[in-house]
């Protein structure tokens, strides 16, 4: 931190940080129990970063540099605001400090208490709040925070202590008054934007992090709500937490809350680091002063941003008319910072790291580093994830009620079209037709949930990267959430169709019919899960999934066309089509044991159902093979879907 006293253009040998005990005010707030709980992650950690660079690879822009040699630090009890114009690399720097780098090349060093901490340990020490509030809309505020607490606290924490912690954090963030209100989403009305942001922060604070990162937390909030949120973050800092956030254009009253600021110009260069109150004097020493009283944050951004080229062609008249600080001052200010202050900043970073190493605190969180990156066992994660997802889904009328209503509706339509089939010759083809429509409807039934699968991807990426649960816990919990409702809807559909159409009135035949339809449904769901995890966005998923289903319908065995009539290039589909295997089992199950009647005037007559099925390529000996193939394909699709989920996690949801 820079202090008033010597001119900022003179090399100062005074330390930028004062070591020792925190101020009395900080000790008082922390000891009051408002937030700090030192058992898991004691406050007071120091984050230092030196000469941080970031460049995109050749495939993304021929080695484009995003960040160029950025250095600084933040201690527990301080707020560090990262400022800069759009495209300066604020979010990129925040991600690097939070050990969430993208696909580019990262240079420099980031240390915690003077030592390197791996990503897994870092997740236990820190919290990260994204710019977009990705929450489950049908859960209440209290449920959202409580479920997060169950996943991000050690099992030694008693239930009563867990409830007390969640209540304390909600009171701290001022959302206890809406704790029983639904969070809300685009589809359901809920709490306000500011309350959603505070709920997202509360879900991270339950882990008692020593460091918290926030990506533009005030975006989308009105000025008053933004100031309120920043005041809360200041209170967290006073409790001993190191708070680091990017912010675009804070109001003047918000700027006064910042302890330190890091200013980036539009080239990703560091133009200033130090006390917020010393930023304006630094620019004044360069001869850059506002012509009118101005918000310091606005003035700083003007000083380092380059106006559009067309606005520079009038000899600077546009700049003077709009009272903009300077023309293309970003590189100049950054060069002045490097020449006058950066050496002192880097010297102080080295001194801080050496002091922490000498005090025996280097490599903060060694006990944490030796432990799992997750607080709870995989079984607890599965239980909590599944329970939370089921509660959210049961409250969603589209995901539950609409799915059941759709199943009943289509069952009534099919049942009325093929109502009470007899055993005459026209009924032979009609039975084949109704079985095909059953298989087709069951196959396409999962497409309605594809949008929900895609919508939850972003939530998974956020929560998994924040250390809430393993990918396998989410995957199993997701299946436990979706499959039971689908099984119920499928049972209602199958029962209505079976008895309205008048298929074989035998219990064993009905349950085998239901088993086959369930396998078709599970295949469809697993394939949609795979497509959603592989697709870049909803548009791609909406094209790929129906296309695959239509291809799988081609080898339908005499309903659309004979398998032997398929062109050779498409004949391979019959070996991978779960629709083909499912329809084969349905036809064998229904036609085996049926005897049809023949009218006197019919020249061609089919009497034995089993014989007719064999003429269509469905042999009774293949029934259990078809069942096994259907069950096996469910397992294959689920394994591929999980592998795609792991790939999605590795690439960060891109």
DSSP 190: -
Mean pLDDT, rounded, for 264-278:
90
> pLDDT at residue 9 above 80?
no
Band the pLDDT of 449: cuts 50, 70, 90: confident
Other CB atoms within 10 A of residue 616 CB: 18
> pLDDT at residue 203 above 60?
yes
Cα–Cα distance, 619 to 624 (Å, whole number): 11
The predicted pLDDT at position 358 comes to 64
Q: Of residues 43 and 55, which shows the higher confidence score?
A: 55
Cα–Cα distance, 213 to 226 (Å, whole number): 16
DSSP 74: E
DSSP 215: E
> pLDDT at residue 475 above 80?
yes
> pLDDT at residue 321 above 70?
no
The predicted pLDDT at position 202 comes to 93
The predicted pLDDT at position 141 comes to 95
The torsion angle over the Cα atoms of residues 281, 282, 284 and 289, rounded to 10 degrees, is -90
Domains, the chain, with CATH or none: 24-288+342-364 (3.40.50.300), 378-650 (no CATH)
* CB distance 274 to 248 below 8 Å: no
Strands (E), 76-163: 79-83, 105-112, 126-129
Cα–Cα distance, 337 to 333 (Å, whole number): 6
Q: Of residues 559 and 278, which shows the higher confidence score?
A: 278
Other CB atoms within 10 A of residue 368 CB: 19
Cα–Cα distance, 538 to 455 (Å, whole number): 9
* CB distance 214 to 186 below 8 Å: no
**pLDDT tens-digit readout, 408-431:** 999 999 999 999 998 888 888 899
**pLDDT tens-digit readout, 333-372:** 778 888 778 888 888 888 888 887 766 555 555 544 445 6
* CB distance 283 to 271 below 8 Å: no
Taking the model in full, what pTM does it have? 0.83
> pLDDT at residue 231 above 60?
yes
* CB distance 214 to 47 below 8 Å: no
**pLDDT tens-digit readout, 50-82:** 999 999 875 544 568 889 989 999 999 999 999
Cα–Cα distance, 106 to 550 (Å, whole number): 45
CA torsion sign for 226, 230, 235, 239 is positive
DSSP 40: T
> pLDDT at residue 138 above 80?
yes
Q: What is the DSSP string of 494-531?
A: HHHHHHHHT----HHHHHHHHHHHHHHHHHHHHHHHHH
First to last CA, the chain: 37
Band the pLDDT of 567: cuts 50, 70, 90: confident
The torsion angle over the Cα atoms of residues 391, 372, 198 and 241, rounded to 10 degrees, is 160
Band the pLDDT of 4: cuts 50, 70, 90: very low
* CB distance 405 to 578 below 8 Å: no
The predicted pLDDT at position 316 comes to 52
The predicted pLDDT at position 450 comes to 83
Q: Strand, coil or helix: what is 56?
A: coil
* CB distance 205 to 233 below 8 Å: no
Chain centre distance of CA 90: 20
**pLDDT tens-digit readout, 583-620:** 999 999 999 999 888 887 777 788 899 999 888 888 99
Cα–Cα distance, 38 to 323 (Å, whole number): 49
Strand order, beta sheet including 46-55: 65-75, 46-55, 105-112
> pLDDT at residue 482 above 50?
yes
**pLDDT tens-digit readout, 369-414:** 445 678 899 999 999 999 999 999 888 887 788 889 999 999 999 9
């Amino acid at each position: 931190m820079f202090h008033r006293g010597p001119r900022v253009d003179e090399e100062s040998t005074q330390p930028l940080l004062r070591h020792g005990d925190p101020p009395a005010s900080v000790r008082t707030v922390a000891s009051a129990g408002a937030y700090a709980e030192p058992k898991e992650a004691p406050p007071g950690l120091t984050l230092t970063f030196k000469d941080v660079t970031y460049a995109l690879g050749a495939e993304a822009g021929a080695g484009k540099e995003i960040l160029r040699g950025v250095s600084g630090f933040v201690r527990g009890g301080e707020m560090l605001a990262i400022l800069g114009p759009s495209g300066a690399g604020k979010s990129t720097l925040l991600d690097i400090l939070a050990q969430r780098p993208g696909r580019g090349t990262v240079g420099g060093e980031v240390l915690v208490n003077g030592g390197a901490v791996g990503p897994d340990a870092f997740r236990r020490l820190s919290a990260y709040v994204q710019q977009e509030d990705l929450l489950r809309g049908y859960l209440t505020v209290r449920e959202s925070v409580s479920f997060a607490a169950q996943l991000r606290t050690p099992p030694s924490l008693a239930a009563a202590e867990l409830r007390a912690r969640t209540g304390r954090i909600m009171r701290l963030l001022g959302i206890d008054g809406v704790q029983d209100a639904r969070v809300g989403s685009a589809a359901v009305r809920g709490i306000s934007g500011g309350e959603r942001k505070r709920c997202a922060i509360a879900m991270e604070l339950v882990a008692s992090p020593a460091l918290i990162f926030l990506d533009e937390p005030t975006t989308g909030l009105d000025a008053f709500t933004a100031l309120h949120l920043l005041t809360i973050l200041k209170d967290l800092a006073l409790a001993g937490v190191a708070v680091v956030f990017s912010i675009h254009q804070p109001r003047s009253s918000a700027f006064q809350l910042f302890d330190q600021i890091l200013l980036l110009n539009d080239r990703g260069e560091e133009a200033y680091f130090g006390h917020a109150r010393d930023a304006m004097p630094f620019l004044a020493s360069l001869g850059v002063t506002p012509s009118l009283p101005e918000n310091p944050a606005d003035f700083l951004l003007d000083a380092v941003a380059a106006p559009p080229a067309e606005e520079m062609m009038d000899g600077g008249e546009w700049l003077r008319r709009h009272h903009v600080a300077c023309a293309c001052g970003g590189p100049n200010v950054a060069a002045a910072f490097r020449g006058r202050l950066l050496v002192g900043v880097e010297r102080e970073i080295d001194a801080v790291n050496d002091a922490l190493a000498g005090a025996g605190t280097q490599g903060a969180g060694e006990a944490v580093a030796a432990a799992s990156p997750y607080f709870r066992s995989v079984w607890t994660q599965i239980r909590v994830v599944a329970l939370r997802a089921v509660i959210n889904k049961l409250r969603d009328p589209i995901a539950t009620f609409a799915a059941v209503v759709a199943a009943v509706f289509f069952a009534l339509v099919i049942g009325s079209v093929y109502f009470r089939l007899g055993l005459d010759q026209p009924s032979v083809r009609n039975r084949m037709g109704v079985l095909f429509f059953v298989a087709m409807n069951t196959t396409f039934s999962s497409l309605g949930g594809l949008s929900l699968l895609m919508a939850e991807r972003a939530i998974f990426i956020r929560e998994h990267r924040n250390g809430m649960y393993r990918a396998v816990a989410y995957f199993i919990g997701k299946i436990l959430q979706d499959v039971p409702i689908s099984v119920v809807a499928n049972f209602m559909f199958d029962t209505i169709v079976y008895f309205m159409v008048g298929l074989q009135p035998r219990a064993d035949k009905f349950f085998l019919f239901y088993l086959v339809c369930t396998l078709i449904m599970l295949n469809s769901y697993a394939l949609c899960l795979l497509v959603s995890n592989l697709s870049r966005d909803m548009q791609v998923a909406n094209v790929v999934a129906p296309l695959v289903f239509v291809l799988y319908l081609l080898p339908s065995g005499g309903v659309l066309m004979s398998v032997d009539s398929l062109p050779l290039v498409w004949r391979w589909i019959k070996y991978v089509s779960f629709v083909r295997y499912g329809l084969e089992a349905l036809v064998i199950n229904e036609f085996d044991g049926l005897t049809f009647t023949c009218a006197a005037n019919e020249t061609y007559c089919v009497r034995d159902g089993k014989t007719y099925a064999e003429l269509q390529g469905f042999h009774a000996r293949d029934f259990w093979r078809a069942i096994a193939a259907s069950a096996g394909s469910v397992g294959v699709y689920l394994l591929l879907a999980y592998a795609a989920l792991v790939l999605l996690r590795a690439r960060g949801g891109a």
